[in-house]
A and B are shown apart, each in its own frame.
Chain A
Amino acid sequence: MVKLTIDDRVLEAREGLTILRAAQESGIDIPHFCYHPAFAPEGSCRMCLVEIEGVPKLELACSTPVREGQKVRTRSPSVVEARKSVLEFFLAEHPLDCPICDKAGECRLQDFYEEYGRFDSRLKEAKEKREKKAAIGNKLILDRERCVLCTRCVRFLKEVTGTGELGVVNRGNHSEIATYESELVDNNYTGNLVDLCPVGAITDADFRFKARAWFLDSRESICPLCGRGCHIFVDVHPGFPRVLLPQRAYRIRPRENPDVNGHWICDFGRYSYAYLDRGRLDKLVQNKGGRETVLTAEKTSQIIAAKIRGLVELERRPRITVLLNTTLTNEELYLADRVFRRGLGLKNIFVADPPEGTADGFLQTAERTPNRRGAAAIGPFPALPGLGELAGATDLLLIFGHFLAARAAAGELKSAFDRIEAKYLWASHRSPLDELVDIVIPTPVVAEKSGTLTNVEGRVQPISPALGFCSEGWPEWRALLDLAGALDLDRGFFEPLASPADILAVMKKEISFFG
């Protein structure tokens, strides 16, 4: 540790740390464009210049290491002037089209001008005209007039993905970010360039002109689309009075976590968010009987419990089949195990997951569900046998998740389901299964749930609702507790459980993996 002074504050910093990092860790902001903690310092934007006692010139905070006894000033007159002048240079070449720029509201150039600039323009000359919407990638639009040439994008593709699609071409004030000839930025991490860009130079074709950043509310969640469990923000538009918005979630952004995903997420996780709003089940559906009873959570569990009890009494217990999936939380999988295997003594408990993809060698895993590792620690639950075999051995089918629908053609599903006497489905999305079962209960997706998920490395990660959930459904853990109650199973165990946190507390005692 070395002791140094920054703006009259004496602080201790680890040796080898830069002034910028040491200041940051002590809550002192030093403005910067090109510096990014994931890359080696570049030192080109010149925004982070600070004064160091005894050094004649201003020095870069982003690359100068801390030294014992160093006295740094980040708000001295010369530093304030230097920042102002860097901003003046940037703005002399910037189109100032903030009203139509997606970055407005979360733009460093805007923020820094407010904080460190506030001067009148001295520019009498014409600004350079440059390309305003170069499509440099599948979803990437580059506005070269807005670019500040921080080269974060170039360095990301060089240092992180290793694909190197972008570079700087031409010299001096003609310098521009470009791909080689007409090639595109093409990898599974291109969306990160939009987050990395400190200004509105690289915008996202997916998000362009859809929402103003200041209306969005960033809520924390975990990406459920593969086993990595990347930490994300779900940017949600709370809406306006009397205006119906087409969607709640407008974009997914990485949330920094050095242990899991660093600063990044893959494009698959970023751009697949439509599932949050589209195709959702929001009504409880009862297909058989056509009774006019309005179903409640309690009534539903009673119906299902009665069916289960009937089969058990007829000694047809082995003909009850349960299908789980690994988007369920650890708590839900644990409850399913407690209710069906240990409570009812069922043997046919399987996992029906979406099909596997391929791992990309960086963050994205082959499995496309967030809790396969958790299921392995709790179960393990065997994989689903063939559909025909399943139907032949089943009188009562309890299905969690709609993923079975993707495994067979509609006709095949129907003939299989027709052979089964009673079928109940808990699902977040509409699917062909909806019409084949007796009751469909809407369930939340990961972004709407509480609980924990275990990622591919065995990290147990908590989730809490980033989005609200429709009023006619309930989460699976709730359904399983209700079912346990209706079946009168081990009241001493189930009754005290009222939340995922309670369930996790029990799991920690019982399963060493979670302890």
Chain B
Amino acid sequence: MDDKTLTRDFGVADLHEVGVYRGRGGYAAVAKALKMAPPDVLCEVQKASLRGRGGAGFPAGVKWGFVPQNLPGPRYLCVNADEGEPGTFKDRYIMLHNPHLLLEGIVIAAYAVGIHEAYIYIRGEYEAVAQRLETAIAGAEGKNLLGKNILGSGFDLDVFVHRGAGAYICGEETALLESIEGKRGHPRLKPPFPAVVGLFNAPTVINNVETLSNVPAIIQNGADWFLKQGLPKDGGTRIFGVSGKVKKPGIYELPLGTRLRALIEEHAGGLKEGCVLKAVIPGGLSAPILTAEEIDLPMDFDSLAGAGSMLGSAAVIVIDRETPMLEVLRITSKFYAHESCGQCTPCRIGTAWIHKIVTRIAEGRGEPDDIDTIISLASNIKGKTECPLGDAAALPILSICRKFRGELERSLK
């Protein structure tokens, strides 16, 4: 389909090889950008209203604009390829099938902000993907698309792949910086924000893989074209990762604003034979759950926020009627108790406590006030931690308890 930007060429054989990628017009955007003045590149991305694809949806161009240009010393670009949000697997596909698209985005972003060193922080589990990136970087360097004096422009950029060790928290941008610095992945106190004090205390831009992969098309086709691909405030397409009880789980690149119902019923082929829809987690596990009645929503940042959920990483988890919500709650609470970094009190102890209660209910020893206690504990985590992990744990737990209270209470004695 024509409206695809990121996945259009996924079927092309050996697309990950620099020659093949260039043969399909790849790196033309880099060549174009390097002839523009950096502020013009920045301006074009800002006009395109490219919102962050990692989960928070913060406009990338605005983020770049926060980096002070008058400070001495280096600036860094960190690519968040930690992709730890349960249900999310879009970045893996981009990096595996189209690594040069990401590298092209990195070069343009670095050029716009005046950065000469970029780190791709990739989750440890993606070993083959990391290998693919290393090969792609070497290939690009061989063609003078990375390294010194890129395409004769005088612009230098080195890209490094840094593999994480499997902690969800390292997808939080300041924990990610700590991890690259060789420290324990604990989120930092903000302010100062990474744009001013980031990696190795230098101004740093941190963008998600999918976000940066959109940049070449913006430079190539212009901000207006990009905006037309999506919504006025949400430019471009989005890669939705559909998993769960659907006939065709996988990734679907669609314009922002595509209805959730269409995504499930048309693109993902509807629910599996004999399955009836019960609930949908629309944006990765941290996104508050939606009931079967709520799926007529357009999938964009503001519509989902309006419905009390979030677009997050656009990972759609489809849950059918046979799946007990208590099990969904148990897996959810287990994940956050396991992944809490342990720094802030409410998240460290609250997630573990909630998980203990849910486990007890699952073992058939639930008590009448348990759901109220879980709701109260989750509310005491929400908004009271340093990083978004606290909210990411509290919000889905609260939504499951509130929207499926009746079903959960049937599990109590």
Listed in ascending order, the chain A residues whose CB lies under 8 Å from chain B are 41-47, 49, 57-58, 60, 63, 81-82, 85-86, 88-90, 92-93, 122-126, 128, 148-149, 167-168, 170-175
Q: CB distance B349 to A46 under 8 Å?
A: no
Q: Are B342 and A171 touching (Cβ within 8 A)?
A: yes
The answer on a CB contact under 8 Å between B189 and A42 is: yes
Complex interface: chain B residues within 8 A of A126 (CB):
356
Is B373 positioned at the interface, with any CB of A under 8 Å from its CB?
yes
CA distance A123 to B341 in the complex (A): 22
**Contact mask B169-190 → A, CB, 8 Å, 1/0?**
1000000000000001000010
Q: Are A58 and B337 in contact (CB under 8 A)?
A: no
Chain B nearest CB from A16 CB (Å) reads 13
Determine whether B292 belongs to the interface, using a CB cutoff of 8 Å to chain A. no
Q: How far is the CA of A88 from the CA of B341 in the complex (A)?
A: 19
Q: Which residue of A41, A42, A57, A90 is within 8 Å of B349 (Cβ)? A: A90
- Show 24 residue pairs from A and B whose CB-CB distance is below 8 angstroms, ordered by the A residue: A41-B189, A46-B344, A49-B384, A82-B380, A85-B380, A86-B345, A89-B346, A92-B353, A122-B373, A124-B360, A124-B367, A125-B357, A125-B360, A149-B348, A167-B184, A168-B342, A171-B169, A172-B337, A172-B339, A172-B351, A173-B342, A173-B351, A174-B342, A175-B348
From 320 to 374 in chain B, residues with beta carbon under 8 angstroms from any chain A beta carbon are: 337-346, 348-353, 356-357, 360, 367, 373
B167 at the binding interface (Cβ < 8 Å): yes
Q: Are A149 and B189 in contact (CB under 8 A)?
A: no
A44-B343, A89-B350, A148-B345 known; 10 new pairs, CB 8 Å cut-off, are: A41-B189, A45-B344, A46-B385, A58-B384, A60-B189, A89-B380, A90-B349, A122-B376, A168-B342, A175-B342
> Contact at B360–A46, with CB atoms within 8 Å?
no
Inter-chain contact B346/A86, CB cutoff 8 Å = yes
Residues of B within 8 A of A124 (CB): 357, 360, 367
Total contacts A to B, CB within 8 angstroms?
Answer: 95
User: Is the beta-carbon distance between A93 and B349 smaller than 8 angstroms?
Assistant: yes
Closest to B184 in A: A168
What bracket does the count of chain B residues touching chain A fall in?
A: 20 to 34
CA distance A43 to B346 in the complex (A): 12
What B residues does A172 contact at CB under 8 A? 337-342, 348, 351-352
Tell me the bound Cα distance from A224 to B357 in angstroms: 56
A44 near B380 with CB under 8 A, answer no
A173 touches B344 (CB 8 A): no
Q: State how many angstroms separate the Cβ of B294 from the closest Cβ of chain A.
A: 25
Which of A92, A170, A172, A174 is most buried by chain B, counting CB atoms within 10 A of its CB?
A: A172
Q: A89 near B353 (CB under 8 angstroms)? A: yes
Set of chain B residues within 8 Å of A167, measured between Cβ atoms: 184
CB B273 to nearest CB in A, in angstroms, measures 40
> Which residue of the partner chain A has the closest CB to B339?
A172
Residues of B near any A CB (own CB < 8 A): 167, 169, 184, 189, 337-346, 348-353, 356-357, 360, 367, 373, 376, 380, 383-386
Name which residue of chain B comes closest to A45, CB basis. Answer: B345
User: Contacts A167-B184, A172-B339 given: A92-B360 contact, CB under 8 Å?
Assistant: no
Taken together as a complex, chains A and B put the C-alpha atoms of A171 and B168 apart, in Å, by 11
- In the complex, which residues of chain A have a beta carbon less than 8 angstroms from the beta carbon of B345? 44-47, 86, 89-90, 148-149
CA distance A437 to B184 in the complex (A): 65
Within the assembled complex, what's the spacing in Å between the Cα atoms of A122 and B357?
11
Check A46–B346 contact: CB distance below 8 A: yes
Q: When A89-B380, A148-B345, A171-B167 are in contact, do A43 and B351 touch as well, CB less than 8 Å?
A: no
User: Shortest distance in angstroms between A493's beta carbon and chain B's nearest beta carbon?
Assistant: 62
Question: B189: which of A43, A45, A128, A173 is its contact (CB, 8 Å)?
Answer: A43
Cβ-defined partner of A43 (8 Å) among B376, B383, B386: B386
6 closest cross-chain pairs (CB), A and B: A175-B342, A173-B352, A85-B380, A125-B356, A172-B340, A89-B349
Complex interface: chain A residues within 8 A of B184 (CB): 167-168
Residues of B within 8 A of A175 (CB): 341-343, 348
In the complex, A311 Cα to B342 Cα: how many Å? 78
Complex-state Cα separation, A86 to B353, whole angstroms: 13
With the chains together, A149 CA to B341 CA distance in Å?
12
Residues on the A chain within 8 Å of B189, using CB: 41-43, 60, 63
Q: Which A residue sits closest to B341, measured CB to CB?
A: A171
Residues on A with beta carbons closer than 8 Å to the beta carbon of B385: 46
Find the B residue at minimum CB distance from A123. Answer: B353
For the complex formed, measure the closest distance between the CB of B257 and the CB atoms of chain A, giving whole angstroms: 27
Residue from B340, B351, B356, B384 within 8 A of A46 (CB atoms): B384
The docked-state distance in angstroms from the alpha carbon of A175 to that of B349 is 10
Bound complex: CA A42 to CA B384 (Å): 14
By a CB distance below 8 angstroms, the chain B residues around A47 are: 345
Which residue of the partner chain A has the closest CB to B385? A46
Distance of A77 Cα from B278 Cα, bound (Å): 38
CB-CB < 8 A to A89: which residues of B? 345-346, 348-350, 353, 380
Complex alpha-carbon distance, A47 and B346, angstroms: 10
Contact A82–B357 (Cβ < 8 Å): no
Whether B380 lies near A88 (C-beta < 8 A) is yes
How far, in whole Å, are A124 and B352 apart by their CA atoms in the complex?
A: 13
Partner of B384, one of A85, A90, A122: A85
